[in-house]
Amino acid sequence: MTIVDTPERRQLRELTRAFVTREVLPHLDDWERAGEVPRELHATAAKIGLLGIGFPEQVGGSGGDLLDSIIVTEEIIRSGGSSGLVAALFTHGIALPHMVAAAGGRLGGSLGGRLGTERATDDDLIDRYVRPTLAGTMIGALAITEPDGGSDVAAIRTTARRDGDHYVVNGSKTYITSGVRADFVTTAVCADFPGSGELTLLVIDKGTPGFTVGRRLEKLGWHCSDTAELSFVDVRVPVTNRIGEEDTGFLAIMQHFAAERLSLATQAYATAQRCVELTVRWCRDRTTFGRPLAGRQLVRHRLAEMHTRAEAARAYVHDVAARVAAGEPVVTEVAMAKNVAVAACDQVVDQALQLHGGFGYLRDAEVERHYRDARILGIGGGTTEIMNEIIAKGMGL
Ligand SMILES: Cc1cc2nc3c(=O)[nH]c(=O)nc-3n(C[C@H](O)[C@H](O)[C@H](O)COP(=O)(O)OP(=O)(O)OC[C@H]3O[C@@H](n4cnc5c(N)ncnc54)[C@H](O)[C@@H]3O)c2cc1C
């Protein structure tokens, strides 16, 4: 299967490209230095309908499905943006879907399945968090990972003890994308005893007493994407801020991992494609020993291999994404798509930097940023090793 290139999708590509050219490229270096993207960028992206792609109109989205979101992600990076920018501007892609699904909204294909029952409080969460976020006036984050470990999601230790019509939350989270700027955090907690594997999702507002946003974490890459540690000490969260029913959080997280993993896979192959383009341009212009680099067979073959890796990864990710959108149960294939795309990206960014020589090592070179940004793609949303565990399970091992 593949992503059909309809006239609407071609228009979406043009819209995305124009947005990046006009609103992102003149400022991206400043945002990398500042460690975050400005809030106004969310409003600008919302105004032209980009922020809401993949979310139903009934919840304030722009419509479209998972495949349209992939088109947007791909085009942002191919037109000179970065995976860090995607992480910062589209954090709602991981912070909101559980709320939309719990309220019965369809997110596209099989990803919008219901969790728990449709309750008035879930509709209320749509009005209080989903609509303002898709309108670009609120920023959300998703907090699963804890200092004691991220791969083993079921081992979460942050607790939520029921006290009347509130939960009292204690624990901490780390590496949370957009955690510095977020107005609310979709937080995975354990309402039973820690380690029970039964998780619940609560939406926790910034400013709630006992909820502290810790230091801004300094990173190898994704510099324009703020990352934070969060601490919860006796934080009282109204029961009305629970997403779906108690103990449905683990299933919700697992269901929405597919979209997150495909987004990361898309960021990986699109980064590879962008680096191939940049490197081809460089190798045509750069002359050594009296000839352009591209005039040498060794260099041409290296570029050919980089191009092949990027295109093969793209074709496979598109195939798996189309199957997810069609409702096929392809958990193993999603894991393989992520690993294939990340491996292609790792090899291509390394070769791209090498072919740029000394310039490739400088902050002035776009490939330098992609080289650093790419390293997280095999860690976030489930590491390469955890993907291999899923694949091995799918093989019956
Ligand atoms: C920039 C950035 C942004 C992030 N954003 C978010 C976010 O928004 N929200 C959020 O909740 N989390 C976020 N994360 C966390 C990320 O999802 C985790 O870092 C990731 O899931 C790995 O968890 P960990 O770091 O605890 O590593 P660990 O689980 O401690 O793993 C360490 C190493 O051991 C390997 N390993 C673990 N278990 C096994 C096993 N069974 N078999 C073989 N190898 C194994 C892992 O693959 C890894 O190589 C972010 C991380 C970063 C760096």
The DSSP line for 41-89 is HHHHHHHTT-TTBTB-GGGT--B--HHHHHHHHHHHHHTT--HHHHHHH
pLDDT score, position 114: 42
Does residue 209 or residue 123 have the better pLDDT?
A: 209
pLDDT reported for residue 119: 66
Strands 184-189 and 140-143: parallel
Summarised one tens digit per residue, pLDDT across range 9-22 is 999 999 999 999 99
179 by DSSP, 3-state: which? Answer: coil
pLDDT in tens, 351-371: 999 999 999 999 999 999 999
Q: Region 110-134: what's the mean pLDDT?
A: 73
What local confidence, expressed as pLDDT, does residue 316 receive?
98
Q: Is residue 107's pLDDT more than 60?
A: no
Ligand 1 centroid – CA 295 distance (Å): 43
In whole angstroms, give the CA distance from residue 326 to residue 109.
Answer: 6
Give yes or no for residue 106 having a pLDDT over 70.
Answer: no
In the DSSP assignment, the letter for residue 190 is B
What's the pLDDT at 1?
A: 87
Mutate to test the pocket of ligand 1, among 90, 91, 98, 151 (most ligand atoms within 8 A of CB): 151
Q: One-letter amino acid identity for 26?
A: P
Query: Which pLDDT score, from 0 to 100, does residue 330 have?
Result: 96
Q: Which residues contact 129 (CB under 8 A, 6 or more apart)?
A: 96, 99, 138, 140, 184, 203
What percentage of the chain reaches a pLDDT higher than 70?
96
Q: Which of 75, 229, 260, 366 is catalytic?
A: 260
The rounded Cα 168 to chain-centroid distance in angstroms is 29
pLDDT over 70 (residue 109): no
pTM, two decimals, is: 0.96
Nearest to 40, CA basis, from 55, 53, 27: 27
Q: What is the dihedral of CA 186, 69, 324, 132, to 10 degrees?
A: 30
CA-nearest residue for atom 17, ligand 1, is: 380
Ligand 1 contact, 380 CB (< 6 A): yes
pLDDT averaged over the chain? 94
Residue 322: CB within 6 Å of ligand 1? no
User: What would the pLDDT profile of 257-304 be if each residue is shown by its tens digit?
Assistant: 999 999 999 999 999 999 999 999 999 999 999 999 999 999 999 999
Backbone phi, psi, residue 244, to 5°: 65, -155
pLDDT band for position 211 (cuts 50, 70, 90): very high
| Atom 43 of ligand 1, residue of closest alpha carbon | 385
- Indicate the pLDDT class of residue 111, thresholds 50, 70 and 90: very low
* Arithmetic mean of pLDDT, 68-74: 98
Distance 94 CA to ligand 1 centre (A): 16
- Are 354 and 295 in contact by the 8 Å Cβ rule? The answer is no
- φ and ψ of 293, to 5 deg: -55, -40
Residue-wise pLDDT tens digits, 141-197: 999 999 998 999 999 999 999 999 999 999 999 999 999 999 999 999 999 777 677
pLDDT at residue 47, as a whole number: 98
Cα distances (Å, whole numbers) of residue 253 to 137, 227, 258: 25, 20, 9
CB within 8 Å of 374: residues ≥ 6 apart = 83, 221, 268, 271, 345, 346, 349
Determine if ligand 1 sits within 6 Å of the CB of residue 386.
yes
Average pLDDT of 87-94? 98
Residue 260: active-site member: yes
Q: What percent of the chain has pLDDT over 90?
A: 91
Nearest in space to 384 (alpha carbons), one of 343, 333, 351, 330: 343
Stretch 237-258: mean pLDDT: 95
Q: Between 129 and 3, whose confidence is greater?
A: 129
Whether the predicted pLDDT of 112 surpasses 50: no
